[in-house]
Structure 1
Amino acid sequence: MKNEVNSDKTDPIGETAGKTAGRTAEEPPRKRHRIRRFFLAIDAFVDTALWKSGSAIRRVFESYDAFLRRFRAKGIWRMLAEVSSEGLTYGLAGFIVVLAFAQPAFEATRYADWKTTDDFAVTFLDRFGKEIGRRGIVLNDSVPLEEIPDSMIKATLATEDRRFFSHFGIDFVGTFRAMVENARAGGVVQGGSTLTQQLAKNLFLTNERSLSRKIKEAYLALWLEANLSKQEILKLYLDRAYMGGGVFGVTAASEFYFNKNVRELTLAESAMLAGLFKAPGKYAPHINLPAARARANEVLTNMVQASLLTEGQVIGARRNPALAVDRSQEQLPEYFLDWALDEVKKLARRNPAMARDRIVTVRTTLDPALQRQADLAVETILRENGKLRDANEAALVSMVPDGAVVAMVGGRSYGESQFNRAVNALRQPGSSFKPFVYMTAFMNGYEPSSIVPDRPVWIGNWSPKNYNRSYRGPVTLKLALTKSINTIPVRLSLDFGRDKIIETAYAMGLTHELENSISLPIGSSEVSVIDMAAAYSTFANGGFKAPAYAILEVKNSNGKVLYRHGTDSPEQIRVLPEEKVHQINDILVNVVEAGTARRARIDGVVAAGKTGTTNAYRDAWFVGYTGNFTTAVWFGNDDFSSTRRVTGGSLPAMTWQKYMAFAHNGIELARMPGVEAESLPRLARSAPAQLADRQSDTAQPRVLKRRTQSLLLRIGRDLRRLMGQQSASAVPASEPAETVAVQ
């Protein structure tokens, strides 16, 4: 029994071990069960939340629908409600889209001094010190808004924005009215832009006609209204608007057209100035006085219609219209002045003194005699041949081989279009690009006598064709460039690569991005006229880079020199080997003597250059140079339409010859690097030309012969001596002789 009793008692150790073993066996199922219950709870919570949310949303929509059913819109009212609803939806979406397009325009407003950043009052002088024009805006507010005549302000508001003081930058009423009037007239007779929108364009945008520009203009107008008062906006507009004749603002226009202070303007004169806002080139009184007076009469009518004046108050101005100063004989270098102003602004960004003093006098590189001849040459050739050959525009840039621009023609008429085709237009250069390819070849082991086959060459599915659709077989590089064969530069580019050609072109002075395409060697990538002139100047000066420049000296309002090109500009750097320049010059002289540019020959002068003609005769070029000048000429159309078979060897070469023959008349001829005039049969038979060494002071253009200069200097000394004797202060007899280098 004892044993039985003992056997019935539970062993503590054994029982514990058994329980532990049992729990261990049961633990995994319990953990899995708890995990399962946890995820089931989450699932139930999510399902419940979704069901409740859906029910709540459904109840909201049911309530909204029940609310809308109370209105029971039918017929026309329902249609209007639907249209309004859709309009609001799409309007909001459109607002967001156009706001995204307008964002780039707001970058310009981040500058704290956006109202004055690039504003200058500049008096420009030619290279001899004579005034040739003015540009910029006077920033010292010499004529506040309160002192501008009431007639000028009323004429401006009546003509440009009658609701100026009641709208917030965008006038929807005025825009709708303009749309109705334009539809009724079958054309554009009224503009919809407010005065604030026009100011936004003048301050931040360009004259580009595009939807994106209008979007930016509208948003910037709202920004201006939020940040400036109406009086500030009006004053800025009167100061910034272009008024024709190269002047900006009513203050400058008053002096230019009437030779009087803006405070003294009469009603008739105010009306004539207000009429310029619409189209200054068309209504400028110094260009077309009858049109200007007719436009002024419309402004007077606008003032009466806007109830700003009565008919009796304007009748005197109608009977006695304004008489503008006769400037018909003045031919200002407008395109050059626009470019020179941009150069002043660039200098100011690098010159702190110029950034502080913005009323400056600038002596430029312009030669007025050469500028007149450039204008005459372009206009003469266009007048004689433009209509017949379907060529409506041209551009010309002429410079000394160191880069000093002496003449610039940016288009046929500045009054009709202020777009500078010589600087801002990008056009394909055609074969005038080939010298960059041949120079690259010479720097990579080729010689002018190297033989390259002229036969079809294929790059994928593309093969260049020669102008005459034939092939010459093996030719030298000199003959290939002289005859402007297309296959040779393409074949050369396959040897040393197009990257090296681009590198050479950039080093010589091209600034715009060149597209590395298979047709690059024959001039498919776009360039500007001024860049081509600068690049070819590298050939004319023996291999030194010659960036185009317009400014010789800048003085502030106190006469202090702020900048002088000779001391403040970097020294010229050599970018081409001298012997290779000699080789390319020899070939390009041959282009004029026996190649595609024979119409560019000048009697007694060694000239070199290259013609260029693009597909469908859209662009025609001749870029040529002598030891004294480099000149690039382009002919074509603004809309990229084809001309009637105008090639670089026709109108451009003829214009170049007409201008350059005049430019070399009566000056000492500088030698072209690597070329002797005696080696050319045509020049050897002509009268010997007087040559000047490149290092002499004749590197700059000279208007007078040395003998004439000496005579004038002698007369000047005698006059000063005579005047000195009369004032008992005669010049000593031992005074040293004067020397003058005409710049």
Structure 2
Amino acid sequence: MSGNGKNRVPLVAERRYPKAANEKVKTSPAPRRAAPARKSRGIVGWILFPFIWTIKLIWRFTWRIGLVTAAITGVAVFYYASQMSPIEDIVDGRVRGSVTLTDREGQAFTVRGESFGGAITANSVSPYLKNAVIASEDKRFYWHPGIDPRGIASAVRINLREGRGPLSGNGGSTLTQQTAKLLCLGTPFDPTQWENEAAYEADCRRGTIWRKVKEAVYAMAMEVAYSKDEILTIYLNRAYLGSGSRGFEAAAQRFFGKSAAELTPAEAAMLSGILPAPSRLAPTNNLERAQGRAGVVIGLMEAQGYITSQQAADAKANPATLTPSATKSTASYFADWVMASGPEFFTNSTTEDVIIRSTLDREIQDHAEAALKHIFETKVSASSEAEAAIVVMSADGAVRAMVGGRSEGFFNRATQARRQTGSAFKPFIYATALELGFSGDDLIDDSPISIEIPGQPPWEPGNYDNQFKGIITLTQALAESRNIPAVVLSEEVGREAVSTVARGFGIESDLATGPALALGVSESTLLEMTGAYAGILNGGSSVTPYGLLDLRIKGDDAPLMTNDGTGIGERVIREAGARELTWMMSRVVESGTGTRARMDGWQIAGKTGTTNSARDAWFIAFTGDYVTGVWMGYDDNRPLTGVTGGGLPADIWRETMSRVTAGQQPTALPATPPQGGSGAGPILDQGIVAPAEIQNVLDNIFNQVNN
């Protein structure tokens, strides 16, 4: 039952339509979310807060910088990759060509510049060589993208551990980076930009941080442009392996006389072992050291699975050795001289590969070097700093051997050292006298003399033994190297005549103008003096020493320049006078000052020479085939102790020529004994003006030489 309705809450239907715009609706506020309670950082939090904040800030910047750097690097990599040259254009990395010098038989004995044995590929060389290079230089070569972060980190760690800077010493460079450096990051040599090739290569090897960055980018670009084997091909062709060898093919031929495709594990390991330091580790410099380094490479090849334990053991038990031609003398002094005698654009500055055939006789060169070494080892103090030089030539001036010093160097004492000649000059005085009609049997007075020199005290020369023998023959005076007779004879025939004859025989140095001319106070070189004596041997004609026979471009049959095969020039004295002078000079060796040079069965003519205070000692002599000159002294011009021209220089001469003539039949000298005196009688001890008939002969000498 329902109520009466009082106090009942009226029923209101739910509004289904929106209120008018001006109608307000009461809503109850939404419950507010309680703010999270702040977490207290605590002491540790406050301490770490600056560091965490800094790290977050750095991260916000570095990932952006890294992204930009990666983009720039990628652009640079693909730019460099697009500029890469074809493989064929860059395998020969030489800036200039090479000069191969051959001996008189056409056999190569040295290479100047850098030789290139021909293009090879990573797949055409011996697999042992390919694996040796990878094992020793970059074992992850086939896995990295051009740079190896792991290798770099390892190198930095090693450098720091050894007390070096992080980028000093081990660089962690990959084979690709090394190849990039060999390519100089694609920058070719420009002679207008660089002072010389050395400056260009030095810049290519710079180790600055910026250079390392560019090198890394260029290396990655190479990985884009070339395959791994193509990169290795470039490296195998351009790497320098010492002794003028550019590329492994040239090195294989130089050291082992075979192609790079034929190398054994031991040989491959030795070549690969040269790479860190080509000059120091080249087997031609120190074979034992090169073999030791090769053993290390063999160990790496075994550890990385490239060769078996048995192969490694065999390679270590039988290390690589050099071919006989590689161990022979390179005749460096002779090669330097020949190079200097040729045209610059075909020698030191050549852009072509040039072949020069020379006059060198390899056997004679080896004998000369061995003889010098033997004498210094057996007859000279080990602490001595004395030097010596040897020149051997034929009568026409063809140089067969040249030793410019006891060890290889830049200063050639045979061609560059101008030294006083001493009594070695005297044959030119006697040659002048013979040309003027004197004879070896003529008499001369070996007595004290005094020569007036304007403005100076009288000059009173003496003999080396401080004795005077009175009246003797010209032959005896020359054989015993008496000074007084030489001065008297020089004054008799006239100093100008003597100088003219000496110049005619090839003495181009300035000659003294005073009476001391006769005692060899003028300077000359060993090559010049030996060539002058060759003029006496050949019958009295001048000689120009020469070493170049012909020059041609490699691959061409026709030579670009040739020598006519002789250095003989104009006649200086009559043949009869030359033959008589030869006989007189043979007395020097038979009974005079040069007896230590005698060889059983051989006729030898020569002359000793010792300068003031024994600063220079000479012995120059000839058989019927060869003229050999020897000089000995100190580079700083100190006096020698107990050495004269008839001593150690004569010993060196004999040791050299005994080896050269071993097993040969003796050749007679073109010598004629004097046919009796000229009737002039004893020559006075003062200079005498030549009579009219002698003056005519003098005029003829002057005319022949000056024309």
Do the two structures share a fold, i.e. TM-score over 0.5?
A: yes
TM superposition shift of 1:467: 1.0
Say which of 324, 330, 335 aligns to 1:334. 330
Q: In 2 relative to 1, CA 486–143 (structure 1 residues): closer, same or farther, beyond 3 Å?
A: farther
Q: Which amino acid aligns with 1:275?
A: A
**Corresponding residue of 2:377:** 383
Q: Which amino acid aligns with 1:376?
A: A
TM superposition shift of 1:581: 1.1
Instruction: Give the secondary structure class of the aligned counterpart of 1:562.
Output: coil
**Corresponding residue of 1:599:** 596
Output the CA distance in 2 between the equivalents of 1:604 and 1:570: 29
Matches for 1:239-318 after TM superposition, within 5 Å: 243-244=242-243, 247=244, 252-253=250-251, 255-257=253-255, 269=271, 272-277=274-279, 284-291=282-289
Q: In 2 relative to 1, CA 241–496 (structure 1 residues): closer, same or farther, beyond 3 Å?
A: farther
Q: Which amino acid aligns with 2:330?
A: E
Q: Which amino acid aligns with 1:540?
A: L
Output the CA distance in 2 between the equivalents of 1:654 and 1:228: 49
Output the CA distance in 2 between the equivalents of 1:508 and 1:653: 23
**Corresponding residue of 1:409:** 403
Output the CA distance in 1 between the equivalents of 2:413 and 2:617: 14
Say which of 486, 500, 503 aligns to 1:503. 500
| Identity, % of aligned positions | 29
Matches for 1:334-373 after TM superposition, within 5 Å: 334-335=330-331, 338-340=333-335, 342-343=337-338, 346-348=341-343, 358-360=353-355, 362=357, 364-373=358-367
Instruction: Give the secondary structure class of the aligned counterpart of 1:561.
Output: coil
Q: Which amino acid aligns with 2:520?
A: G
- Structure exhibiting the larger radius of gyration computed from Cα positions: 2
Say which of 444, 457, 465 aligns to 1:451. 444
Q: Which amino acid aligns with 1:422?
A: A
Output the CA distance in 2 between the equivalents of 1:447 and 1:498: 19
Instruction: Give the secondary structure class of the aligned counterpart of 1:610.
Output: strand
Output the CA distance in 1 between the equivalents of 2:286 and 2:114: 27
Output the CA distance in 2 between the equivalents of 1:646 and 1:536: 22
TM superposition shift of 1:388: 7.4
Q: In 2 relative to 1, CA 224–446 (structure 1 residues): closer, same or farther, beyond 3 Å?
A: farther
Output the CA distance in 1 between the equivalents of 2:511 and 2:253: 45
Aligned-CA RMSD value: 5.5
Q: In 2 relative to 1, CA 436–324 (structure 1 residues): closer, same or farther, beyond 3 Å?
A: farther
Q: In 2 relative to 1, CA 331–256 (structure 1 residues): closer, same or farther, beyond 3 Å?
A: closer
Output the CA distance in 1 between the equivalents of 2:592 and 2:559: 47
Give yes or no for the alignment of 1:136 onto 2:132: no
Check the 8 A contact 2:397/2:567 in 1, yes or no.
Answer: no
Matches for 1:131-280 after TM superposition, within 5 Å: 131-138=107-114, 243-244=242-243, 247=244, 252-253=250-251, 255-257=253-255, 269=271, 272-277=274-279
Instruction: Give the secondary structure class of the aligned counterpart of 1:134.
Output: strand
Q: Which amino acid aligns with 1:285?
A: P
Q: In 2 relative to 1, CA 483–273 (structure 1 residues): closer, same or farther, beyond 3 Å?
A: farther
Q: In 2 relative to 1, CA 221–674 (structure 1 residues): closer, same or farther, beyond 3 Å?
A: closer
Check the 8 A contact 1:257/1:324 in 2, yes or no.
Answer: no
Q: In 2 relative to 1, CA 467–526 (structure 1 residues): closer, same or farther, beyond 3 Å?
A: same
Matches for 1:455-604 after TM superposition, within 5 Å: 455-458=448-451, 459=453, 460-461=456-457, 462-514=459-511, 516=513, 519-562=516-559, 567=564, 572-604=569-601
Say which of 411, 422, 432 aligns to 1:430. 422
TM superposition shift of 1:351: 9.2
TM superposition shift of 1:568: 6.8
Per-residue CA distance 1:525-573 (angstroms, 9 max, x = gap): 3322222221111111111222222234445433513168674767643
Q: In 2 relative to 1, CA 330–143 (structure 1 residues): closer, same or farther, beyond 3 Å?
A: closer
Structure 1, unmatched stretches of 5+, are 1-114, 157-176, 182-194, 196-202, 205-216, 300-311, 313-318, 680-743
Give yes or no for the alignment of 1:619 onto 2:616: yes
Q: In 2 relative to 1, CA 587–457 (structure 1 residues): closer, same or farther, beyond 3 Å?
A: farther
Say which of 376, 393, 399 aligns to 2:393. 399
Instruction: Give the secondary structure class of the aligned counterpart of 2:465.
Output: coil
TM superposition shift of 1:610: 0.3
Say which of 607, 619, 643 aligns to 1:610. 607
TM superposition shift of 1:644: 2.7
Instruction: Give the secondary structure class of the aligned counterpart of 2:644.
Output: coil
Higher helix share goes to which structure? 1
Give yes or no for the alignment of 1:125 onto 2:81: no
Instruction: Give the secondary structure class of the aligned counterpart of 2:401.
Output: strand
Check the 8 A contact 1:340/1:551 in 2, yes or no.
Answer: no
Check the 8 A contact 2:333/2:404 in 1, yes or no.
Answer: no
Matches for 1:72-111 after TM superposition, within 5 Å: none
Check the 8 A contact 1:132/1:333 in 2, yes or no.
Answer: no
Output the CA distance in 1 between the equivalents of 2:506 and 2:628: 15
Output the CA distance in 2 between the equivalents of 1:368 and 1:430: 31
TM superposition shift of 1:295: 9.0
Per-residue CA distance 1:474-530 (angstroms, 9 max, x = gap): 433222211111233334444455444333222212344445565332222332222
Instruction: Give the secondary structure class of the aligned counterpart of 2:606.
Output: strand
Q: In 2 relative to 1, CA 221–536 (structure 1 residues): closer, same or farther, beyond 3 Å?
A: closer
Q: In 2 relative to 1, CA 403–429 (structure 1 residues): closer, same or farther, beyond 3 Å?
A: same
Instruction: Give the secondary structure class of the aligned counterpart of 1:334.
Output: coil
Q: In 2 relative to 1, CA 647–391 (structure 1 residues): closer, same or farther, beyond 3 Å?
A: farther
Q: In 2 relative to 1, CA 452–249 (structure 1 residues): closer, same or farther, beyond 3 Å?
A: farther
